[in-house]
Structures are given as structure tokens and as C-alpha cells.
A and B are shown apart, each in its own frame.
Chain A
């Protein structure tokens, strides 16, 4: 292989969209390797009730990023189709979690046994979340309201609705089998949320591969009018992406509520919408809609969690965490901004040109 083809190959990799999150991930990995290699140690131990569990920072990252990765799926579709973001996901998670608890607990906030099966509760919360998604979708698709503004409504009301669902109480479920979904199934050493997240990714991969959803969302996002001329109903496509977002929210909310077997609707999943949008942006997707790369978005979600866990490891207090996160985010987006890339490219050309010039002399 000659040098020029090698150069071309590296260039084509660098130009690929998924390069941004991978590079960010690599930087974080290298940083951690240098700072403290024990970051990557995974230990195998027995939990208090005797079942085997794996623990370590990597497992923590994979575990805690599950909700974000699932939300990133919905957010990517919403962004691609409607050219805007759903900022109500945090509030919607509060709603879906509250619905699960309401169905399981009934009127009693401290029930001895669950009033319904977990599956029923989950399905009902899916239905409710999809209804709220449909509400957002209607506003965006049929009333032509900008997504961020339309979802501002649910963002404002969501946590209040969640409080209202449970009569302002915080129910707790004592049945341990409920907690299996958010922690460990007995006998399986890997946290359950990881399985749920992988399952969601598999489903969306299959859907994108075997249906026209991906093609239609991109077509609508790039130009709704020409999509319409090609026989696609842009309003319906936008609407559907918001309903899918609702489904993602229900799954994420289910994980959140099973982690602690309860929910504090005023703080649960606070600011998660910002992280989800960040995941989409870190994946190199244009926030104004059009083409998208699902794998890059999901990877973006893991990058964010990796960063958060790394910062926690270095004893950054959780309140000061956002400041460091902001600096990293700004550096990442500035480096990946087209204007900056162009400038760097020009600079490199100049340097090589001057070097060549010197050689010629």
C-alpha cells in the first residue's frame, strides 16, 4: 500500500460520521489508561444474597447509560424527521414511571403485594407514554409547531402530571422481583438494564434494516415537500417518530423506576433530555434534521456516560460536574465543527506546501 492510498483511507475514516464519537471514546479510554489503569478492572463477586455479580467502572458505565442509549434511539428519529428535539423526555419518564407504580400499587402507597403483574403495568405505561408522544407528535406534525416549543408544554406539565397520578405520594414497592429489572436477576452477573438496552438496539437495527422507516424519516427531514411529491406522508412520518419516542421513554422510565423500586418525580431523570440531545449531537447528527446515523447516536450516549463516570472517579462533586462536562462538550463540538475542520485542513496543506517548497529549494 502506498502512502497516498493510506492517507486516502485514513481521510475517509476521519470523514465518516461515526468517527466523532469513536474518537471521543478513544480519547477518554486513553486518558483513563494513563491516569489509572485500574479503571478497566472488572471484579467478580457475590452479592449479599449470594448471587454472582460483576462490578467495575466499565459495568457501571454500560449499566447507567442504558436509559440514555434507549432515549438516544428515539431522539435520533425525532431529530431526523422533524428537525427539532423533544425536550419533554425527562418529564415523560416521570409520568411513565408513576404510571407503573400506580398500576402496581393501586391506592395504597406501601402495598404488601403488587396489585397487577409487572407486564401489565409496563404495557399500560407504554400505552400512556405513546399517547403523550402522540400529543407531541400531533402538535409538531399537524399544527406545524416547532418541536422544541411543542414539547415545552409537556416539559412544563409533565412532572406535575406525574405527581397528580400518584396523589403527590411516593409509593414504594417492597417485592424484590420488581427490582430485578433495574438491578440483577438472581444468577445472572450482568445488570439487567444492559440486556434491555441491547434488546432495544437489536429491535431498532432490525426495524431500520427491514422497514422503510429510516429512509422515510431521512427523506422527510431533508425536504418534506419533495418527500410528499414522492408519495410519503410527511406528517404521518413525523407523528410516528414521536410515538416511537414515547415507547423509548416508557422503556427508559421502566428501568428508572425498577432501579430503586420507587420514583421521585421531581428529580427523576432531571436534565436527561439535554444528555439525550447531546448524544445525538455527539454522534455527528445534524440537529436540524435529515440524515442520521443511529449507531453514532447510541455510541454518543455511552461517551456521555463514560465521561460522567470518569469525572465521578476523579472526585468531582455531582453539583460541579456540569461545568467540566460543558468544557469537554465544547472542545468536542468545536473540533468537529465544519468551519474548524476546514481551517485545520487548510493549515495542514499550508504546512505541507511550505515543507515541499523548502525541499524544492
Chain B
């Protein structure tokens, strides 16, 4: 906690910002949960591979959630990212297998689709001042319909270069374990994880130390005062949606790299998972508050609790959803109580 000298010359504690308080809660909860799982469940949770698998499975979600957080920090929302991921997967799959494309064209196509969605949605929200929920809802419908128009059935991609890339494993030295037969099993991560971590680091720096990053917070916190500070509010919002669409393009390809197939049912509900992760990570839908590091831990917390529920043998189909919902509920209530109490102190 920072200390500063106030006007009277006395030392005074500087209250933490909302962003930092919520970030702190998230990180503590994640570590507490993982530690509890290690102690009480043991088994897989003691291995690095379990943790890496959480990353492997959620690399795409991390990227999507980062985009979502940025949009949420500016006070908007983008519910099209889940279906956009499905569209990217399907388009890339069709490009690779039916149109004779290679990995490079598939990547470019994915990014292009993401950028196109971001461009249109951003323009509609920022410059035509249409409510973001409605614009991205239409985007979601459009992506959903387009996916089946591109191809209506699920199929696995056969393209050799792509399959080789999909199966590339990056072994992390020193994290493996010795199995019952006495063989050393090294732990690995997939390429998508590297991409996701790079995205997290870049966006963290962008949001914390660059002009545009700080503008996102200013616009989300108070549009009018941001305007008075000389920030181009419309352009800032536009860039946020553009970035979110672009990240959905990247996330879509990473998802594709993980599953290796195209299907209309891919990434169902990913937008809600992304929103939930952002909230758990301390981003507030009202704007101006949030942190990429928090979002990263939000995704980890969400998937850890899912893993715990599955390992406890409660996978009676409905338990996962109910637990996740309960977790979001607890987080929201805690956040709201913390902020309420803080604001009461201020007043």
C-alpha cells in the first residue's frame, strides 16, 4: 500500500484503486483455490501438466477475454466473439481443405474476418452511436448464420502442414513427472499458449503504459471528462472494438489450432465465458475498471473450478454449470460489497 504526505504534512495511506483491489481479490482466490485443490484432491493437481492443460484448453478463451476486457473497460460489450470464433474456425477449415489454402492463408483469413467484424461493429458503435449490445448481437447472429452458410457440417482438417502445427508440443524442461513405469513424462504446452501469453503481455503493457491504453480507461470512466481532456472518444471506442474483433480473429485461429476442425457448434457460449472471466478478473461492465492480468487469472480461476468439479466426480452434467454460476455469484457479491464499503468510506 502506498503512503503519501498529505496537505497537513501528515503521512496518509493512499487507498488502492478499484482496479487494483479487484485484481488482488482475483489473484488471491485463484491461488487459494489451486492450493486447496493440491492439498485436498492431490492427484493430477500436483503435476505441472494439469496446469499446462488448463492453459492448452483455454488459450483461445484467454485471448477472447482480453479483447472483451478492453471493450468492457471502455464501457461497452461485445457478445459476438463466441460465434465469431466458430466462423473463423469454419472458414479456416474450408480454406485449408477445400480451397487448397495453406496455413499462411488460413491465418490471414482468420485475422481478416476478425478485423472486418471489428471494423464494422466499431464503426456502428462509435460513430453512429448505436447501442453496443444490439450491434454485437446482430454481429453474433450474422456470424452464426454465416458459419452454416460457409459449411453446415463438422469436419476434421486433413491438411498436413496444419496437422503438424496442431500437434507441435513445446516441452517445458524440469516440469515433467515420472510415471508408474518409471519413465519420465515431460510436460508440454501448445503453440496457442505461447500466442495467448504474448497477447496478455502486449495488452498488459498497452493498457498500462501507452496513451491509447489510458484513453480506454478514461473513456470508460467518464465519457464527458475524457472528452474535455482532449481524448478522441469516438476513435478510442472504435479502436477498442477493432482490437476486440482482431483478437477474436487470433483467438479463433488458436481455437482452431487446438481442436483442428470446423463446426457450427464450436465455441458455443464462449462470449459468456469471456464475460464471466473478465468479471472474475475484476473488470466492471460499467467501464473504467479492469486489468488484463486480472482477466488472465479470471480465465484460470474459471477453468480451475471446472476441473475441480470434474475431479470430485460431480460431473452429473449439471454440476459444472451450477458451480460456475455460484462462483460468479460469489465474486459479484464480494466485488459489490468491497466497492460499496469503499465508497461509503469515501462519503
Report the bound CA distance from A164 to B316 in whole Å: 9
Give every chain A residue within 8 A of B325 (Cβ-Cβ). Answer: 153-154, 156-157, 160
Report the bound CA distance from A338 to B127 in whole Å: 11
Report the bound CA distance from A340 to B129 in whole Å: 9
Of B141, B285, B317, B332, the contact of A139 (CB 8 Å cutoff): B332
Task: Flag whether B137 is at the interface (Cβ < 8 A).
Answer: yes
Q: Establish whether residues A277 and B133, one from each chain, have CB atoms under 8 Å apart when the complex forms.
A: yes
Task: Flag whether A339 is at the interface (Cβ < 8 A).
Answer: yes
Return B346 CB to nearest CB of chain A, in Å. Answer: 15
Q: Establish whether residues A144 and B336, one from each chain, have CB atoms under 8 Å apart when the complex forms.
A: yes
Instruction: Choose, from B106-114, B143-151, B177-185, B219-227, the stretch at the interface.
Output: B143-151
Chain B residue nearest in CB terms to A265: B318
Give every chain B residue within 8 A of A319 (Cβ-Cβ). Answer: 145, 148, 152, 264
Q: Establish whether residues A143 and B336, one from each chain, have CB atoms under 8 Å apart when the complex forms.
A: yes
Q: Establish whether residues A163 and B134, one from each chain, have CB atoms under 8 Å apart when the complex forms.
A: no
Of A85, A161, A320, A337, the contact of B148 (CB 8 Å cutoff): A320
Instruction: Choose, from A16-24, A240-248, A325-333, the stretch at the interface.
Output: A325-333
Task: Flag whether B212 is at the interface (Cβ < 8 A).
Answer: no
Q: Known contacts A146-B284, A337-B129: does B137 contact A324 (CB below 8 Å)?
A: no
Consensus secondary structure, chain A interface? helix
Task: Flag whether B158 is at the interface (Cβ < 8 A).
Answer: no
Chain A residue nearest in CB terms to B321: A160
Identify which of residues 99-148 in chain B touch chain A, using a CB-to-CB cut-off of 8 Å.
124, 127-131, 133-135, 137-142, 144-146, 148
Q: Establish whether residues B321 and A321, one from each chain, have CB atoms under 8 Å apart when the complex forms.
A: no
Return A287 CB to nearest CB of chain B, in Å. Answer: 5
Identify which of residues 132-163 in chain A touch chain B, using a CB-to-CB cut-off of 8 Å.
139, 143-146, 148-150, 152-157, 159-161, 163
Q: Establish whether residues B272 and A155, one from each chain, have CB atoms under 8 Å apart when the complex forms.
A: yes
Q: Establish whether residues B137 and A277, one from each chain, have CB atoms under 8 Å apart when the complex forms.
A: yes
Q: Establish whether residues A338 and B141, one from each chain, have CB atoms under 8 Å apart when the complex forms.
A: no
Chain A residue nearest in CB terms to B278: A149
Task: Flag whether B276 is at the interface (Cβ < 8 A).
Answer: yes
Report the bound CA distance from A334 to B121 in whole Å: 11
Of A139, A288, A323, the contact of B131 (CB 8 Å cutoff): A288
Chain B residue nearest in CB terms to A325: B141
- Residues 275-291 of A, flagged 1 when their CB comes within 8 A of B and 0 if not, give 00110010000111000
Q: How many residues on chain B are close to A (CB under 8 Å)?
A: 47
Q: Establish whether residues B134 and A329, one from each chain, have CB atoms under 8 Å apart when the complex forms.
A: yes
Task: Flag whether B36 is at the interface (Cβ < 8 A).
Answer: no
Of A146, A317, A329, the contact of B141 (CB 8 Å cutoff): A329
Task: Flag whether B233 is at the interface (Cβ < 8 A).
Answer: no
Return A327 CB to nearest CB of chain B, in Å. Answer: 7
Q: Establish whether residues B318 and A161, one from each chain, have CB atoms under 8 Å apart when the complex forms.
A: yes
Task: Flag whether B279 is at the interface (Cβ < 8 A).
Answer: yes
Q: Known contacts A146-B284, A154-B325, A157-B326: does B138 contact A287 (CB below 8 Å)?
A: no
Return A341 CB to nearest CB of chain B, in Å. Answer: 10
Q: Establish whether residues A163 and B324, one from each chain, have CB atoms under 8 Å apart when the complex forms.
A: no
Q: Establish whether residues A278 and B324, one from each chain, have CB atoms under 8 Å apart when the complex forms.
A: no
Q: Establish whether residues A157 and B322, one from each chain, have CB atoms under 8 Å apart when the complex forms.
A: yes
The winner among A155, A157, A159, A321 for most chain B CB atoms within 10 A is: A157
Give every chain A residue within 8 A of B320 (Cβ-Cβ). Answer: 160
Give every chain A residue within 8 A of B318 (Cβ-Cβ). Answer: 160-161, 163-164, 168
Q: Establish whether residues A161 and B317, one from each chain, have CB atoms under 8 Å apart when the complex forms.
A: no
Return B303 CB to nearest CB of chain A, in Å. Answer: 14
- Residues 150-191 of A, flagged 1 when their CB comes within 8 A of B and 0 if not, give 101111110111011000100000000000000000000000
Chain A residue nearest in CB terms to B264: A319
Report the bound CA distance from A51 to B275 in whole Å: 50
Q: Establish whether residues A327 and B285, one from each chain, have CB atoms under 8 Å apart when the complex forms.
A: no
Give every chain B residue within 8 A of A159 (Cβ-Cβ). Answer: 321
Task: Flag whether A37 is at the interface (Cβ < 8 A).
Answer: no
Task: Flag whether A274 is at the interface (Cβ < 8 A).
Answer: yes
Q: Establish whether residues B141 and A323, one from each chain, have CB atoms under 8 Å apart when the complex forms.
A: yes
Q: Establish whether residues B145 and A321, one from each chain, have CB atoms under 8 Å apart when the complex forms.
A: yes
Of A156, A322, A323, the contact of B328 (CB 8 Å cutoff): A156
Q: Known contacts A143-B333, A146-B286, A149-B275: does B131 contact A330 (CB below 8 Å)?
A: no
Task: Flag whether B340 is at the interface (Cβ < 8 A).
Answer: yes
Identify which of residues 319-347 in chain B touch chain A, using a CB-to-CB cut-off of 8 Å.
319-322, 324-326, 328-329, 332-333, 336-337, 340
Q: Establish whether residues B332 and A339, one from each chain, have CB atoms under 8 Å apart when the complex forms.
A: no
Contacts A168-B317, A287-B134 known; 7 new A-B pairs at CB < 8 A: A143-B337, A149-B332, A152-B276, A156-B276, A157-B322, A281-B134, A319-B145
Q: Please, could you name 23 A-B residue pairs with CB atoms under 8 Å apart, sorted by A? A: A139-B332, A143-B332, A144-B336, A145-B332, A145-B336, A146-B285, A150-B332, A152-B272, A153-B329, A157-B321, A160-B321, A160-B322, A161-B318, A163-B318, A168-B318, A281-B131, A287-B131, A288-B131, A322-B145, A326-B145, A329-B137, A333-B130, A334-B128
**Partner-B contacts on A (CB < 8 A):** 85, 139, 143-146, 148-150, 152-157, 159-161, 163-164, 168, 274, 277-278, 281, 286-288, 317, 319-327, 329-330, 333-334, 337-340
